[in-house]
Structure 1
C-alpha cells in the first residue's frame, strides 16, 4: 500500500459540498493561502493554471508551483502547489490539502485516481474535499471523520424551455456533444450573428483560454461548446441551451444524468446573477427536451446520491508483470468501492505484456515499474488502445535501455512544429505535442529534459495560437458583427474607441495609433474600408486630443514614462520631440515632432508645456553643472576662472588637473571654485554630483557624453575593457577607478605622509582593497600622484624575523600637461626617399 506522511491527531477533514456557483473553489484558495504550505488537486490542467495565476498574485511566483502531467513550474522555494489530481505529490508533508470536483471518483476512466486521493490525501493541519452534494453518502462512509458542510447556490437557476437558434439571447452558451454538431451551430451563428467562440475538450488549454477570452471580452456574444465547459470554467453566461441531452461515454450512447445536466446548466448565472437553461429547438425530429422531473431536479439541486466509487490498487507489486496486472484488477475490500473499468493504461499494459519481445525485457522490479510508468502515458490523441500501444512500445524501446535519444525527441517535436493546415489537422498536432510535453516532464525519460520540455511548450503555444486563429477565422465574421450593429448609413454613428494602440470602430480594428501617428489596417476589405475609415476620420482627431490630454496629465503626475536619448524625447517608442541647442548646452530648446501637428492647437500647446516641465525634471541631476555654468557670467570670476568653468561645463564637470590651468588662478578664484562645489584633487578636478549614475545618464542623454557607461550603477572600480575609458574614471592598468575614490585614497596617503614628517612612511591598503583595487593598480595610482616606493632590504642569509614593510616617500610631481602623441616624423623629400618608402 501507499506510504504517506504522518497526520497530526488534530488535523481537520472538511467536505464542502454543493451545486455549482457556491464558492467552493474560492474557499479552498483562501484556506490554502492561510496555511504555511499546501496543495489543491484539480480535474483539469486548465483549472490548475487558472488558480495558479491567482495564487501567484497573492504569494508571489517564486513561492507557488504548478504541477501537471504536461507542465511543471516548481521554484525551489515553492510551498503552495496547484496540481492536476494525477500529479498531486501525496508523499510531501504539507499543512493543507484539497481535492476539487471529488465526485469524479465515480468517473469510469479517472474515478480510481480521485478515489485514491479521497482516501489517502491528507494535510498535516487541514484537509478539504470539494464536490457535488451527491458525494455526501460516500464521504460519510469512507471518511467518517470528515465534517460535512453543504453550501447553497448564490443565484437561482430557472428553466425557460426550447428556443430556436435565432431567438437565443446574447451572452449564451450552446452545448453540443459532438464536434460536427459544434461546428454546424458555430457556422450558423457566424452567418447570422457575426460569430461565436468554440470550446471543446480536444482543444489545448491555451486555445480554450483564448476562445473563452474571445467570448468574455464581448467580441462575440455566443459560445458553442461541448460538456467541457461544465468542469469549473468561470464564464459570464446568462443562458445555457442544450443542443442534445445524450452523449457517448466511451462505451455506449446514453442520456445525461441529472447531475451532469446540472453541472453544465450551472454555468449560467454567476455570483448573485440569476441564470436560465433550456434546449435548442428547430434541429429536426430529434429536438432535445427535459422531462419535468429533470427540470425539478436541476432547479432544486436534488440528485440521486452516489452509491459506489471506482477503485484501483494505488501501490501494486512490481516484482512481475503478472503480479502487477493482478493487483490492478484486484477487487476492493470496501462495499462502497467497486473495481474500476479497464482504463487505457491497463489495456496498453496487458496488450504489450503479450508481446514476447517486450515481456523479455521485464526481468527486474525496476524494469516493471518503469514499464508501467510508460504505459500510463495519457492517450491525448484518443486513437484507441491499438494505436496508443504502438506509440508506447516505441517509447519503451529506448526507455528500457536508459533514456529517450535526444535526436529522436527533438525530431519528433520539430516534426509537429507546423502551423499550417485546417482545424482538424491542428487539433491532431496539438494532441500529439501534448504527449511529448508529458514525456519531456518525466524526470528520467529524456536527455536534456529542461530543453526538450521548453521546446515542447513553445511548439504547443504556437500550435494553440494557430488553432485559435483558425477557429476565429472560420467561426467569427468581425465585419458582419460591426456592420450589423451600425445605426443607419452615417458612419459618425459608429462608436470609435481606443484599445491600447488599436483604433476600433464598434469593436472592429481598423488601424493602430502609434504615439500620435495613425496607421490604417492594410487587411481591411474594400467593401468595409470606406464606411469604417469615414468613422475613423471623424473620430481620430478627438482620440489624439484625448491621448494628448491624458499624457500631459500623466506627465504632471509623474506617472508617464518618457525616454531621453541622444537628444530625442520618445514615448512608447515613438518620437515626440528633439532637442536643439538653446541658450547653452544645459538649456536646450524643444522642437515638437511633426506628428503633433495633427493635434488641436490647445491640446498641442498643453502637451508641449508638459514635455518642457518633464525635461526640466529629467535634467535636475545636472544642477551642479548648471551652477558652474551660471558662475561663468559672474564679473568676479575673471578671464582665467571663466575659461576653466566653460571647459568644465563642456566636459561634464570632469577634467584632469594637468589640463585645467589651475595654477593660473589666484587665491580668490580658488576660493570661488570651492564655493561652487568643485573638488580639486591631486590628479583631477571634478564635481562630486556629476559622478552619480543619474547625472551621468542625464548628461549622456542630453548628447554631452560620447562614451557609454559600462555599468549604470558606477561602482568604485571596473575591469578595464576594450572600449573607451568611461567618464568619471581614471585608468590604472587593468582597472578603472572612480575619481572620487582615487581622491580618497590619495588624501589618506598625504595624511600619512604629513604625520611621518620627513621619514619614509607605510600605507594601509585596506581601503583600496575594500574598493576592489589590486595591489598593482593601487601602486600605479600612488606613483601617478608622486609617491615612490622604497623596497626594503632582504634579510641576511641565516637571519630570521618578519620582513621589513614597504615604505613610501613623496616628491611633488611637476605640473605639466600630459604628453601629447609624438608628431609624425617629417618624410624626406626627393625621388630616392619616395622609392625607399615604396620598398618598405
Structure 2
C-alpha cells in the first residue's frame, strides 16, 4: 500500500487495524494516515492511507489507488461473512486490489473475480502434532486454547497454582487489555497464555506449542466440532517464520459426548500438510437495501443472492433487532420516511458488545432510538453515562461488563450525527476505556499470575544460581523482589501466605541459596555484636581482643569454635545465637580452602584405594605441596591418575601440588589458622629472592626461589622443545635448544635458570661455534636431558647390588634419552678364563 499514492486496507479486528496504523504512521507520518473503526476515528484532513475494520471500510474502495481486504475467507462466517463478501465483490483500487486470505478461498475468487491472479505464500516452518499432554507436562511458551470463559478461567487458575500463572486473552477484552496481557507473555513474565479462538487471528506471539483444551465450540446456533481449517488457524500460532512449532490436546481438558479430546488422523494430516477442503459458498446480504419503508428494508435484507457461489447470510444480530422492534411496534411508530428508516437501521446496526443476545440488545437499541429520533443525544447525558461506567471497582466480570458498555458508547460517539460535542465525548469514552482496561489487566494479573511462583519456577532450571536472592534488613528473604519467607535466627521459615504447592518451590529455592543467606545473616549478626574481626594466630580476633579460639575439630580443616571466657557473661540464648553465627561466618571464611578440604574428604573415599589415600593424606599434611620423591607416586597405579586430576592435583616433574592453593588467599588463611607456619607471600610472585626458609609454595632456583607451578611451566616448555627436536630427527650429539626467555620474563637470572633446570634433569652443553668462514647468528646452545631420579619405590623382581660392588649395568654408558647401550654389556675378553674356571669348580662341587 505504501508504494502507491493512496490506499485503504480492511482488517477483521480493530486490534490489527491499530497495529498496522502505527507502522504506516512511522513510514508516512501521522498527517497522511487515518484509522477508522467502529469505536475510534482518527482522520486528518489530508489523509491518504486508511486503515479500517472491514465494517468501516468504504465498500467501493473510496477511490484509492490501492485497496486490500485481509482475512477474506471470513466471507464464509455466519455472523460477519456478508460484510467481507460485499468488500470482496465491490471494494476496488484504481491501480491494484489485493485479497489476502486462506487458500480455501481460491475457488470462490476464481469464480467471482475471474480476472484475479493467485499467488501463494507457503508457511516457512513445520507444524507437528505431538499428541495429548497433561497440564503439568506442557512445555514453556505454550498457548492453551479453550472455547468458554469458564474453561479459560479454570485452566488459568491451574497454571497459576502449578506454573506461576498465565496471560489471558478473550474476545470480550478491550484491545488495550488484550495488548497488556500479550505483553505479559511476550516479556517472559509468564510462560503460558490461555485464550479463546481470538488467538487465531491478529496476534503474533512467541508461541512454541498450542494445546487445545477443547475441540468444539458454540457458534451462536449449536455446539459443534471445529473444522480443520479453524483448527489450523489456531494451531498455526505455534512457530514463527522459520521456527518450527507443535500442537496437541490437553489431557483431562474435558470430554464431549463421552469421547476424549483427540485429533483424528485426517485432521492431523490436514493441519500438518496445510490441506483443507475449499470453500463452496460465501454468505451474502443485500448491501444496498431500499429505505422506502421498514417492510421494504427487511424484505431487501432477506433477499436471496443470484450467483450460485453465494448463499443468503443467516440472520445477524442487527437484522434480528430490526425485526424484533418492528414486531413490537412501539419503537417504530412514526418511522414513515426514507430518512428515518435509514437512521433507524443505522441504530439497529450498533454492535452487541455486551453479548446479551437479540432480546436484551433490542431493548438497549430502543432506548437509544428514543433519544436519536428527535435529533442528537445531549452531551451531558452521554457524559453521565460514561461517568457511571468508568468506576474501576469490582471483580473481573464486572469490569468486563463496564468495558462492553463503554465500547457501546464509544461506537455511539463516533457516529457523525448522533452526539453533540462528538469529539469531546469520544475522547472521554477512550479515556474511560483505557482506565477500565488497566484495571481489568490488573485484576487478571492478580488472579491468574503468581509472580512469586513464576519466578521460582524459572529459577528451578539451569539458571537457578542467577536468581537475585536477598536478605532484607528485617530478615525477610526475597527472590527477584518477591518474598518467600524469613529467617528466625538461622532457620528459614516459609512465608505463611504460601500455598502447599508454593511451599515446595520456596523450600527448594531457599535450599539452593541458604549458604549465602546464612552467611549474610551471620555477617550482619557478628558485625552488630562484635564489629569487624579476622582470623589470626589460630583464633578469631577483633583488634587485639580474642573472641574465640579455633580448636581442632574432626579434622584440621574443620576447626571448632571455643568462645572466649570474656563472653561467658552473655545470656545463654544470645551466646548460642552468636556462636552459631560465628560458625556460619567461619565456614564462609574457610571457603578458599575448599580444594584442600575436598582432598581430605577424598582420602576417606573407598574408591581412592590405599596408595592414593596415602598420597592425599601427605598432600593434606604438607598443605597442598609435596616434593615428588616424597610423594610415593611409584605406588600409585596409572589408572588412578584421573581420580587425582578430578581433585585438582597436578603431578609435575619435581613437585605434586594443587594449583588452586598457590594463591595468596589460601596461603594466608593456612598461616592465620596456624596450620602452616612457613612464611607467606601476600602477592605470591612468580620469582622471589631465596632465603634460609622458603615461603609456602616455592622451590629453590639457585639463589632465587620460584613458585612451583611456574617452575613446571618452564620444565614443560623445555620438554616440548626436546620432543619437537626428536620428531624432527635431530637426535645427534648437539641435543635440543632451550630458551631462557620465559624464565627471564618471570625474573630468573640465567645462572639461577640453569640451576633450576639442572634439578629437573636438563644440562646445558657447550656453545656451538660457527665453521670457519661462516657468518650469521650463533646456533642455540644445545641441552640434554636425563631423568633426575625415579619415584621412591624399590624395583620389584631385582636383587639389590652386592656390598662393595656395583649393581648390574651400573656405570655403563647411556644414550642421551637415558637408555643403556647394549653393546657395552659384553664382558672384556680378559675376564673369560676366570669365568670358565669358576663354572668348572661349581660343576665339581655339584657332583660331590
**TM-score band, normalised by shorter chain:** 0.5 to 0.7
Structure 2 residues without counterparts, runs of 5 or longer: 471-476, 484-494, 521-848
Q: 1:356 to 1:150 in 2, by over 3 A?
A: same
Equivalent pair of 1:65/1:81 in contact (CA under 8 Å): yes
Find the residue that maps to 2:217 and give its secondary structure: strand
Equivalent residue, structure 1, for 2:195 = 225
Pair 1:443 & 2:404 matched: no
Equivalent residue, structure 2, for 1:64 = 33
Equivalent residue, structure 2, for 1:428 = 401
Give distance in 2, aligned partners of 1:359 and 1:488: 66
Pair 1:483 & 2:451 matched: no
Pair 1:140 & 2:113 matched: no
Q: 1:217 to 1:176 in 2, by over 3 A?
A: same
Q: 1:356 to 1:108 in 2, by over 3 A?
A: same
Shift in Å at residue 236 of structure 1? 0.4
Equivalent residue, structure 1, for 2:349 = 376
Shift in Å at residue 356 of structure 1? 3.1
Shift in Å at residue 483 of structure 1? 2.9
Shift in Å at residue 357 of structure 1? 3.2
Give distance in 1, aligned partners of 2:36 and 2:364: 24
Coordinate RMSD, CA, aligned: 2.8
Give distance in 1, aligned partners of 2:230 and 2:224: 12
Equivalent residue, structure 1, for 2:162 = 192
Give distance in 2, aligned partners of 1:344 and 1:443: 22
Equivalent residue, structure 2, for 1:314 = 287
Give distance in 1, aligned partners of 2:273 and 2:185: 29
Shift in Å at residue 232 of structure 1? 2.5
Equivalent residue, structure 1, for 2:183 = 213
Give distance in 2, aligned partners of 1:295 and 1:95: 42
Per-residue Cα deviation, 1:23-48 (whole angstroms, up to 9, x for no partner): xxxxxxxxx11111101111110111
Find the residue that maps to 1:452 and give its secondary structure: helix
Q: 1:320 to 1:206 in 2, by over 3 A?
A: same
Give distance in 2, aligned partners of 1:507 and 1:89: 52
Find the residue that maps to 1:180 and give its secondary structure: helix
Give distance in 2, aligned partners of 1:285 and 1:364: 54
Shift in Å at residue 364 of structure 1? 1.1
Give distance in 2, aligned partners of 1:356 and 1:249: 30
Pair 1:296 & 2:266 matched: no
Q: How does 1:118-137 map to 2 (within 5 A)?
A: 118-137=88-107
Equivalent residue, structure 1, for 2:140 = 170
Q: 1:486 to 1:399 in 2, by over 3 A?
A: same
Give distance in 2, aligned partners of 1:43 and 1:339: 21
Give distance in 1, aligned partners of 2:96 and 2:83: 21
Shift in Å at residue 55 of structure 1? 1.3
Per-residue Cα deviation, 1:233-263 (whole angstroms, up to 9, x for no partner): 1000010000110000000000000000000
Q: 1:141 to 1:284 in 2, by over 3 A?
A: closer
Pair 1:344 & 2:314 matched: no
Q: If the length of structure 2 is used for normalisation, what is the TM-score?
A: 0.55
Equivalent pair of 1:403/1:446 in contact (CA under 8 Å): yes
Equivalent residue, structure 1, for 2:584 = none
Shift in Å at residue 524 of structure 1? 14
Equivalent pair of 1:198/1:223 in contact (CA under 8 Å): yes
Equivalent residue, structure 2, for 1:9 = none
Equivalent pair of 1:269/1:276 in contact (CA under 8 Å): yes
Give distance in 1, aligned partners of 2:171 and 2:340: 34
Give distance in 2, aligned partners of 1:210 and 1:275: 24
Find the residue that maps to 1:131 and give its secondary structure: coil
Equivalent residue, structure 1, for 2:239 = 269
Q: How does 1:606-621 map to 2 (within 5 A)?
A: none
Q: How does 1:276-295 map to 2 (within 5 A)?
A: 276-283=246-253, 286=256, 287-295=260-268
Q: 1:365 to 1:194 in 2, by over 3 A?
A: same
Equivalent pair of 1:38/1:81 in contact (CA under 8 Å): yes
Q: 1:232 to 1:352 in 2, by over 3 A?
A: same
Q: In structure 2, which of residues 23, 28, 45 is the aligned counterpart of residue 54 of structure 1?
A: 23
Shift in Å at residue 505 of structure 1? 8.1
Give distance in 2, aligned partners of 1:505 and 1:230: 38
Equivalent residue, structure 2, for 1:325 = 298
Q: In structure 1, which of residues 333, 336, 359 is the aligned counterpart of residue 332 of structure 2?
A: 359
Equivalent residue, structure 2, for 1:180 = 150
Equivalent residue, structure 2, for 1:88 = 57
Q: 1:465 to 1:222 in 2, by over 3 A?
A: same
Shift in Å at residue 486 of structure 1? 3.7
Equivalent pair of 2:285/2:312 in contact (CA under 8 Å): yes
Equivalent pair of 2:15/2:202 in contact (CA under 8 Å): no
Equivalent residue, structure 2, for 1:716 = none
Q: 1:179 to 1:488 in 2, by over 3 A?
A: closer
Equivalent pair of 2:11/2:17 in contact (CA under 8 Å): yes
Give distance in 1, aligned partners of 2:466 and 2:237: 35
* Pairs aligned (count): 489
Shift in Å at residue 71 of structure 1? 0.6
Equivalent residue, structure 2, for 1:465 = 438
Give distance in 2, aligned partners of 1:117 and 1:285: 40
Pair 1:241 & 2:211 matched: yes
Give distance in 1, aligned partners of 2:481 and 2:212: 30
Pair 1:35 & 2:4 matched: yes
Equivalent pair of 1:361/1:400 in contact (CA under 8 Å): no
Pair 1:114 & 2:87 matched: no
Q: 1:489 to 1:332 in 2, by over 3 A?
A: closer
Find the residue that maps to 1:124 and give its secondary structure: coil
Shift in Å at residue 74 of structure 1? 1.2
Equivalent residue, structure 2, for 1:76 = 45
Shift in Å at residue 194 of structure 1? 0.5
Give distance in 2, aligned partners of 1:270 and 1:255: 27
Per-residue Cα deviation, 1:648-676 (whole angstroms, up to 9, x for no partner): xxxxxxxxxxxxxxxxxxxxxxxxxxxxx
Shift in Å at residue 409 of structure 1? 1.1
Equivalent pair of 1:487/1:493 in contact (CA under 8 Å): no
Find the residue that maps to 1:324 and give its secondary structure: helix
Give distance in 2, aligned partners of 1:204 and 1:282: 30
Per-residue Cα deviation, 1:285-310 (whole angstroms, up to 9, x for no partner): 55310000000000111111100000
Q: Which has the larger radius of gyration?
A: 2
Q: 1:487 to 1:428 in 2, by over 3 A?
A: closer
Shift in Å at residue 485 of structure 1? 3.6
Equivalent pair of 1:478/1:508 in contact (CA under 8 Å): no
Give distance in 2, aligned partners of 1:524 and 1:232: 43
Shift in Å at residue 506 of structure 1? 7.0
Give distance in 2, aligned partners of 1:361 and 1:474: 51
Equivalent pair of 1:64/1:78 in contact (CA under 8 Å): yes
Q: How does 1:153-164 map to 2 (within 5 A)?
A: 153-164=123-134
Q: 1:38 to 1:217 in 2, by over 3 A?
A: same
Find the residue that maps to 1:429 and give its secondary structure: helix
Shift in Å at residue 386 of structure 1? 1.0
Q: 1:195 to 1:307 in 2, by over 3 A?
A: same
Give distance in 1, aligned partners of 2:429 and 2:5: 33
Structure 1 residues without counterparts, runs of 5 or longer: 1-31, 498-503, 511-522, 539-840
Shift in Å at residue 405 of structure 1? 1.9
Equivalent residue, structure 2, for 1:701 = none
Per-residue Cα deviation, 1:504-527 (whole angstroms, up to 9, x for no partner): 9876579xxxxxxxxxxxx99999
Q: In structure 1, which of residues 412, 432, 448 is the aligned counterpart of residue 385 of structure 2?
A: 412
